[in-house]
Structure 1
């Protein structure tokens, strides 16, 4: 594989980690991030989410929720999600703090507000390398089933981009064909490092 990918979602670590997990298993160089101020996982009610700092190990979140209400968090898919996540990496990372990770060739987001945040963040950074980065938004509903579908679609799109001689020259055609084939509207932009 020739590109370095980032998968970015808001703060709950479902969509980006599902895509990260799938792409990693397929041999891609990939990282994943959230953009919120904290990691927010569903709680017993909408008004009672479980909130963790970025950098809190997934295993620690898993143990905490298993201690609080194992049946609830197993039934709503949070415990299996955290178990999957801990098999991919130690802890969630925040996009805005990823300067130590270097740069990415392609960044996927899974909701428009995150797409806007990533573009704004890249715009506000010092453009030292003047290396292009492609940002693609693939809108995916935030549930476990849709996250799996979104991850597969992201993988398919990565394979298409990887197969191109020059993504810069063929990205319009690749994305148009993808939208038509999958009946999904994409947003994309190019920024720089």
Structure 2
């Protein structure tokens, strides 16, 4: 069992809901964690399905919050966007894009298969310098409040179990199989290198 906390990245599409909920839970439990999105822009629900609110990743959570309040406070209060952004503002200033991060992690957890594919593609396109392994694991989490919380708890349990292993390289596949059976969710796993 390592006494050094795992360096964890949690990644969803827009770094708003699922990755931020997991970021919150993991940071409360002492993990060294960062969260990211992989999209080209941050997208949040708008007044209609075909009219999302789209922001640049450099836009702060506070700016997004104020923009939504100015557009329709009632709508964005009712659909939970303002509450979510209030949480996000307490965690970090703005969403971050995974492809722009050069930090090294022990574990990258993605929240949907398309994000997993983007992370693996990005990692494999980078020049390998240290050949240090990073485990990339996907846990499919539906993008809504309830599932984000359920998924964050599952990710926390998974990270704690990985933290408690004697040898992550030898024990991870078996551990993931146990988590698949207990949770009823499929997990994808691969190893990339820095």
- Which TM class, normalised by the smaller chain length? over 0.9
SS at match of 1:22: helix
| Deviation of 1:25 (Å) | 1.1
Q: Does 1:29 align with 2:10?
A: no
Match of residue 173 from structure 1: 174
**Alpha carbon RMSD of aligned pairs, Å?**
0.8
C-alpha separation in 1, matches of 2:182 and 2:68 = 40
- For residues 80-119 of structure 1, the aligned pairs below 5 Å read 80-99=83-102, 102-119=103-120
- CA deviation string 1:61-102 (max 9, x = no partner): 111101111110011110000000010000000010012xx2
Please give the TM-score of this superposition, normalised by the length of structure 2.
Answer: 0.96
Moved runs in structure 1, 4+ residues, more than 4 A?
none
- For residues 136-147 of structure 1, the aligned pairs below 5 Å read 136-147=137-148
C-alpha separation in 2, matches of 1:144 and 1:115 = 21
Match of residue 6 from structure 2: 3
Structure 2 spans left out of the alignment, 5+ residues: none
Match of residue 125 from structure 2: 124
Deviates further, 46-55 or 132-141? 46-55
Tell me the matched-pair count. 191
Deviates further, 4-13 or 84-93? 4-13
C-alpha separation in 1, matches of 2:170 and 2:15 = 35
Please give the TM-score of this superposition, normalised by the length of structure 1.
Answer: 0.97
| Deviation of 1:12 (Å) | 5.6
| Deviation of 1:13 (Å) | 1.4
SS at match of 1:145: helix
SS at match of 1:16: helix
Cα distance change on mapping 1:26 and 1:130 into 2, 3 Å: same
Match of residue 77 from structure 2: 74
Structure 1 spans left out of the alignment, 5+ residues: none
